[in-house]
Amino acid sequence: MARMTAIEAAVHVLEKEGVTVCFGVPGAAINPFYAALFRRGTIGHVLARHVEGASHMAEGYTRARAGNIGVCVGTSGPAGTDMITGLYSAWADSIPILCLTGQAPRARLYKEDFQAVDIESIAKPVTKWAVTVREPGQVPYTVAQAFQTMRSGRPGPVLIDLPLDVQTAEIEFDPDTYHPLPVYKPRATRAQAEKALAMLNAAERPLIVAGGGIINADACERLVEFAELTGVPVIPTLMGWGAIPDDHPLMAGMAGLQTAHRYGNATLLQSDFVLGIGNRWANRHTGSVDVYTRGRTFVHVDIEPTQIGRVFMPDYGIVSDAAAALDLFLSVAEEWKTAGTLKDRSAWAADCARRKRTMLRRTDFDATPIKPQRVYEEMNRAFGPDTCYVSTIGLSQIAGAQFLHVYKPRHWINCGQAGPLGWTLPAALGVRVADPRRPIVALSGDYDFQFLIEELAVGAQFKLPYVHVLVNNAYLGLIRQAQRAFQMDFQVQLAFENINAPHTAGYGVDHVAVAEGFGCKAIRVTDPDRLASAFADAQAMAQQHQVPVVVEVILERVTNIAMGPEIDAVTEFEEVLDLPEPALDPVHV
C-alpha cells in the first residue's frame, strides 16, 4: 500500500478507468484535485469559460466514441449548480458523464459556509447516483463505484462531491493492483429471442425501431446485419439516427412529430408490427400512444427493466442489453433462414423504399433571404458521408433532422430529450477533443449559438477546429412557430438595430464580429448561391487555422417547419414533393 491524499488516489482511479482528459473550471474548493492533476501530469484539462459548457463538453466527449466517459470538474456552490443542466441532459439521453465538485470542509457543511450548497440533493433527480463523500478512505472506492454505475444497465451520469478536507486527508491506497469493478448488463435468453422473432415472423409488415441504446451498446453493425438477414426495414429514432446509414435500402426514415421524414411516418403507419430495441417511445417520436399503437403489435427490448411498460404496455417485453439481444436474434434468425421458415419481406421492403424515394420535401429554393431548406441541401452536397453533425434544439435542429443525411453511428450527436439551448457549441468541442480527425459540423439557430457563445474562446485557445453552421433568423424560431397557436409573436424576436454594425440590416447581433473577437474565423452568407463556396472555405479555414469556423447564414425571418400533434397529422407548411412512383423491381431496392 502507499500513503497519499484521498484526491490523489481518486486521480489514480480515473487513470485506471481510462480517463485521459477532463473539462472544467477551477476554484478554491477543488484546488486539491487540480494540484493532483498538476503533479501527476497524466490527465489533460480543457479550461471551459462557463461550467455548464464543461458539462456539455464532457457529454460530447462521451458520445463521440464507444467506451468514452467525459469528466467535468468544478468547485463548490455555483459550479455544481451550473453543471446541473449538463447532468440532466446526460441523464435524459442515457449518456454517462462523471461530474466532480469541490465542497466546503465537512465541519462547515451546516454553517452556511461560502459557496457551500447541498449539491448531492440538488443533483439526485438528474443522476444515477449523487454523493458527497464524507470519509476520505471511501474516495477511491466511490470513484470506482461511479464508473461501475455509469457503465451498468442504462448508462447515465454520476456526481461525486468532495469536501475540501476529505480531498486533502491522507489514506492508504494501492493504485498498482486497482481493477475496475465488473459491469452489469442484463442479457436476453434464447427463449425470449425465439418468442420475439416468432411474433415478428407472424407479422405482415414488420419494422425495427432502432433507439440510442443500440449506439450505446456499440451494436450498430449487428443491427444492420439483423435487418439484412430478415429483410425488415428500420426506423431509427432521433437518438438512434446513424445506427443504419441513411442510404441503406432498409433505412425506412425517421418517424415523429418534428424530426421525422414524410416517408418515415407513412411507413410506420402502414406497419403492423414494431420491434423496438434500445428506444424509449419518446413522446415526440410517438405522438399519442393511441395513434402510434393502433393496429400494431409491439415487442420492446430495453436494458432498463422499468422502461418496459413505462409509456405503454408492449405485447412482449425483453430486458436486455441491445448487443446481447441482437446477437441472439441473429443466431435464431440464421437458423430459421437455413430451415426456410423466415418470411420473405421483399415486397414490404420495396413498398417502404418506394415511399422513401417519392415522399419528399422541396429544398431547391433560390430566394434571398435564404430559405432554410436550401441550406440543408447545400450542406448535404458540401459535407461528405464522414461528417459528424452536432445540434441541440430549435427549428434549425428540426429541419436539420428532416433534411440532412447521416451515414454512421455517433455522427448525429444531438441532445434528444433535454434540449438545453447552448449545448451545441461545447458539445462539438467535446467531440473534437475525443476525435482529432473526424469532420465536425455543428448546427445552431442564432439563440442556441448565443447561449454559450463564450466557449468559442475555448476552441480558439485549445485549437479545436470544426465548422459551425449558424442559421440566423433573428428569432426564437421554434417558439415563434409555437406561438401561432396563441395568435402572438411575443418576446421571441432577436432582431434590433445594432448601432455598431449597420450591415446586419436589423438582424441585431454581428455574429461574425463576435466569433472573430473570440479568436475564431467566420463567414457571413446572404446569397444562396454562395453557400457552397462558404462551406468549402470554412472547412479549409478550420484546417488551416485550427480554430472553430462559423458560417453565419442569414435566413428569411419566418419559415414554418413541418410538425404536428400526431404522426398522422403533421402539417406541411412548405412545398412537398410527391414524385411519380417508378415501376420497380423489388430486387433493385
Ligand X SMILES: Cc1ncc(C[n+]2csc(CCOP(=O)(O)OP(=O)(O)O)c2C)c(N)n1
Residue nearest to ligand X (CB): 445
Binding-site size, ligand X (CB under 6 A): 17
Shortest distance (Å) from residue 570 CB to ligand X: 17
- List, in sequence order, every beta strand (DSSP E) within 342-403: 359-361, 388-391
- List, in sequence order, every beta strand (DSSP E) within 42-176: 44-47, 70-74, 97-103, 129-132, 158-163, 170-173
Cβ atoms within 10 Å, residue 221 = 13
Shortest distance (Å) from residue 92 CB to ligand X: 12
Given the residues 7, 30, 51, 133, the one annotated as active site: 51
Q: Residue 446, interface with ligand X (CB under 6 A)?
A: yes
Pairing type for strands 158-163 and 549-554 reads: unpaired
Comparing CB distances to ligand X, the nearer of 439 and 477 is 477
Chain CA centroid to CA 77, Å? 27
Binding-site size, Mg ion (CB under 5 A): 5
Quote the CA–CA distance of 455 and 426 in Å, as a whole number. Answer: 6
Helix (H) or strand (E) holding 427: helix 424-434
Query: Of 95, 123, 146, 421, which lies in the binding site for ligand X, with binding defined by CB under 6 A?
Result: 421
Our CA dihedral for 221, 223, 229, 234, rounded to 10 degrees, sits at: -130
* Stretch of residues binding ligand X (CB under 6 A), selected from 50-58, 96-104, 126-134, 469-477: 469-477
Comparing CB distances to ligand X, the nearer of 201 and 258 is 258
* Stretch of residues binding Mg ion (CB under 5 A), selected from 14-22, 133-141, 185-193, 439-447: 439-447
Q: Residue 52, interface with ligand X (CB under 6 A)?
A: no
Q: Residue 478, interface with ligand X (CB under 6 A)?
A: yes
Query: Which of ligand X, Mg ion, none lies near 253, with the C-beta cut-off 5 to 8 A by kind?
Result: none
Q: Residue 287, interface with ligand X (CB under 6 A)?
A: no
> 18 φ, ψ to 5°?
95, 10
Question: What percent helix, strand, coil does the chain show, rounded to 5?
Answer: 45, 20, 40
Query: Of 6, 476, 542, 562, which lies in the binding site for ligand X, with binding defined by CB under 6 A?
Result: 476
Would you call 7 a catalytic residue per the annotation? no
Q: Residue 475, interface with Mg ion (CB under 5 A)?
A: yes
Q: Residue 363, interface with ligand X (CB under 6 A)?
A: no
Look at the block and give the residue holding cell 417511445. Answer: 281
* Stretch of residues binding ligand X (CB under 6 A), selected from 92-100, 277-285, 443-451, 532-540: 443-451
Q: Residue 395, interface with ligand X (CB under 6 A)?
A: yes
Look at the block and give the residue holding cell 462557463. Answer: 50
Shortest distance (Å) from residue 529 CB to Mg ion: 23
Helix (H) or strand (E) holding 444: strand 440-445
Q: Residue 470, interface with ligand X (CB under 6 A)?
A: no
Find, among 89, 12, 2, 10, the residue nearest to 421 by Cα.
89
In the sheet with 388-391, reading across from the earlier edge strand, the strands are 412-414, 388-391, 440-445, 467-472, 549-554, 521-525
Q: Residue 445, interface with Mg ion (CB under 5 A)?
A: yes
Q: Residue 393, interface with ligand X (CB under 6 A)?
A: yes
Query: Which of Mg ion, ligand X, none lies near 94, with the C-beta cut-off 5 to 8 A by kind?
Result: none
Given the residues 21, 122, 308, 479, the one annotated as active site: 479
Given the residues 421, 512, 555, 567, the one annotated as active site: 421
Would you call 234 a catalytic residue per the annotation? no
Would you call 51 a catalytic residue per the annotation? yes
By rule CB under 6 A, what string of x and - marks binding of each residue 235-274 to ligand X? ----------------------------------------
Given the residues 13, 25, 342, 453, the one annotated as active site: 25
Comparing CB distances to Mg ion, the nearer of 349 and 553 is 553
Query: Of 445, 508, 528, 548, which lies in the binding site for ligand X, with binding defined by CB under 6 A?
Result: 445
In the sheet with 297-302, reading across from the earlier edge strand, the strands are 234-236, 206-210, 273-277, 297-302, 316-319
Q: Residue 93, interface with ligand X (CB under 6 A)?
A: no
Q: Residue 473, interface with Mg ion (CB under 5 A)?
A: yes
- List, in sequence order, every beta strand (DSSP E) within 138-242: 158-163, 170-173, 206-210, 234-236
Find, among 458, 437, 573, 448, the residue nearest to 519 by Cα.
458
Q: CA 125 → CA 55, 76, 122, 159, 308, distances in Å?
A: 17, 19, 7, 11, 20
Q: Residue 448, interface with Mg ion (CB under 5 A)?
A: no
Pairing type for strands 44-47 and 97-103 reads: unpaired
DSSP 50-83: SHHHHHHHHHHHHHHSTT--EEEEE-STHHHHHT
Would you call 421 a catalytic residue per the annotation? yes
Would you call 25 a catalytic residue per the annotation? yes
Residue type, 372: P
Residues forming the site for Mg ion (CB under 5 A): 445-446, 473, 475, 477
| Catalytically annotated residues | 25, 51, 421, 476, 479
Residues forming the site for ligand X (CB under 6 A): 393-396, 419-421, 445-448, 473, 475-479
